Amino acid sequence: MAQINIDGDHLIVEMEGWDKLWALKSRLEIPLSNVRGATADPGIAREPKGLRAPGAYLPGVITAGTFHIDGERVFWDVHDPTKAVVIQLADERYTRLIIEVPDPRETVDRVERAIARP
């Protein structure tokens, strides 16, 4: 699981506990100007993951790290897909962040409000 916060004009994703090891990242910092939107998507786990490089994938247990699919680089940190949030990015290393959060609806609302600010 991860925590998603807004700090000034940046979206901060901080992996918690062992997820730092599985995802091979502890923190991502993205300018809000590069965030295109966020959605809660519990069905995302059924989508193909692509090639893992580097990261961890145990079906039904964890998907974490960097995955390459259809020319895109996607970052995952999900144990429970019912709590997955998908964050669309532009002009970043990753095209999407797929992150498990404690409260997907609240997280999506917070991200959407932050990117709507002038």
The per-residue DSSP string of 43-110 comes to: GGGGS---EEEEEEEETTTEEEEEEEETTEEEEEEES-GGGEEEEEESSSS-SEEEEE-S-HHHHHHH
Q: How confident is the model at residue 92 (pLDDT cuts 50, 70, 90)?
A: very high
* pLDDT score of 45 more than 90: no
81-90 per-position pLDDT tens digit: 999 999 999 9
Confidence of residue 7 (pLDDT cuts 50, 70, 90): very high
- pLDDT at residue 93 in the model: 95
Q: Is the per-residue pLDDT at 14 higher than 70?
A: yes
What is the overall mean pLDDT for the chain? 92
Q: For the chain, how many structural domains are there in total?
A: 1
Q: Which domain holds residue 23?
A: 2-116
pLDDT single digits (tens) 96-118: 999 999 999 999 999 999 999 86
